[in-house]
Structure 1
């Protein structure tokens, strides 16, 4: 992504997309993170929205937004590469708030290449106890929820790549880069070779966090 395009993307996500999403009833918080240098372009950004329950992502107000994208949204989504979008439920969570750094470990839908859920929850608790770690969370992704055809999905997949979904994910929030990387490395080291080789592990710096209250005050 060229520098000018990246500036446009960040402005769109912070000024239009997150406030728009957080205006939908049931949405609580949005976050955008940028990967460290050397990360593949397809993993450059990590965006996450938190809602009261997974069904919010198929609610009528949300679908209305997905089927009426703004011109700015259409332009941004049309240049997506390797789009990834999964509605998840929280299996386990510990800690408070968000950190300046985020590590993510994502597993696909090959059961042989994914860890047992209980095992991953145990690693979550171990990671949360490491120095400098603020919280950790295990998510289970749905292969179908939120994948219905919408206008936004058409633009997002216009480059020829369908939305990728994840089966399981571990998120680790840290105070700084070093402690977050150490926690991530510890999890990867504990994985069997086949699971470690198939996992998508990425280290991100948090760029912007917006709550529903923030979005409401900004619109007032």
Structure 2
């Protein structure tokens, strides 16, 4: 199937690359994508960390290595970035923004247009909407530097010229999927919320070809 906007050919089964595939949400994205019949590749730093990703094509490499990314992007039509980084109360964080800039450059070089990136509540204009504990304790004490980098990451995606969607989940949990997701852009009166990683994975996969949220930054919650 030809995409008239990008000139690329879309296969019947979406051919996606997942970054952050060994994380809690990334593993669910890979598993759900395979269950949907998607052709899935995952860029992983080591085969040991990729145990359980059976069915995905594994490419060894660092997400900040453009050569590794370009290898992983060959034949792909979309990228899902579920990259994460630990809380960092003291040290500056640059992984998310640096990896995203390299990814954008590699996608342009390989003519891959669709990018779906997970950031989180607290990024951009969702800051201050996480609820009292998140906004006044967790965020300032543990996540301030992480979210400064998430903001840089979002800016890179917005300025990329790609067909992007930024997905901002509320606080993640490991409960079973509810199958229902609320999507918000007007956060007036919204303070706090949680969502199952499995529901995040499903919503993110829907964005691979759906254009409803193209060039938008929905906050998603249960």
Give me the TM-score of the superposition, normalised by structure 2.
Answer: 0.35
TM value normalised by structure 1: 0.35
Higher RCO (C-alpha under 8 Å, 6+ residues apart):
1
Greater share of residues in strand: 1
